[in-house]
Amino acid sequence: MNVIMLGKVFRFRNLDNTLPIARDRYFEPIDTSGSKLHRPYVVFYSDDKVYYLTVKTLKKGNEASIYRNQDKNLILLNKNVYNEWVKGKALGNVIDCSVVNIMDKKLFEQLYQEDEYYNNYQLAPWIYDEVMNKLYENKNKLIFHYAQLDFKENKIIWQDTKKFDDNQNSTNNNKWLVRAKKVITTVIETYHSISRDEIEKRLNNQD
């Protein structure tokens, strides 16, 4: 198993398929209507799968709820996931590090505009580091959603798991869940095993 995950950002979807491809911690599909279709995702590659985290804009209207759940969220104040300064009424970006969505890599890439600058965009090392640290804090409580797309019926098929309030620890007949937990846990713990001095040195060398 490849334990190195490349962190990328994808945002702009092809318009011929607008189905939701992620669910939240309450097992609800995340809205893709209108401009919300092009919400960014922080995407990690490993073998033939992608593992992705949802991103939302931090605003005055959702600030209170975001901070109530800051143990689950990585909050980027004044910056977005592209490491750019936010504009307008935005206060920053929020990466949900409590839920990992999964899809086959080839299928995922088919849904996105191939030559778009803001797709397949390399995640800034300092953001990658903070994401890994937040995932480590949540590693025993992560919720996983595996999405498969039925092009013929034009619908998303979600692999069944335990519901949020029933605890998603049962892995009976959920081989994909066993694998997902193993992949993510290995990646998180491998990164966390690197000394902070070494990580800081790498981050400083990015300047």
Residue-wise pLDDT for 92-121, tens only, equals 999 999 999 999 999 999 999 999 999 999
Q: Can you give the pLDDT at residue 164?
A: 46
Half-sphere exposure of 161 (CA within 13 A, CB side): 29
* Residue 137: per-residue pLDDT: 97
Whole-angstrom distance, CA of residue 44 vs CA of residue 122: 10
Position 1 pLDDT exceeds 70: no
Q: Which long-range contacts (CB under 8 A, 24 or more apart) does 174-180 make?
A: 176/102, 176/146, 177/144, 177/146, 180/49, 180/51, 180/100, 180/102, 180/144, 180/146
Over residues 82-86, mean pLDDT = 98
- Mean pLDDT, range 71-93, rounded to an integer: 97
Strands 155-158 and 143-150: antiparallel
Contacts 24+ apart (CB under 8 A), 106-112: 106/48, 107/148, 107/149, 108/10, 108/21, 108/43, 108/50, 108/52, 110/14, 111/13, 111/14, 111/17, 111/21, 111/149, 112/10, 112/12, 112/13, 112/14
Determine the straight-line distance between the first and last CA of the chain, rounded to whole angstroms: 32
Q: For residues 37, 40, 46 and 47, what is the CA-based torsion angle, rounded to 10 degrees?
A: 30
d(CA 111, CA 12) in angstroms, rounded, equals 9
Contact 91, 60 (CB under 8 A): yes
**Residue 2 above 80 pLDDT?**
no
Q: What are phi and psi of 80, to 5 degrees?
A: -105, 180
Burial of residue 111 (CB within 10 Å: 0-12, 13-18, 19+) is: middle
Average confidence (pLDDT) over 21-32: 95
Domain boundaries, the chain: 6-204
Whole-number percent of the chain with pLDDT over 90 = 79
- At 174, the amino acid letter reads N
Kindly report, residue by residue over 114-172, the tens digit of the pLDDT: 999 999 999 999 999 999 999 999 999 999 999 999 888 989 999 876 544 455 555 55
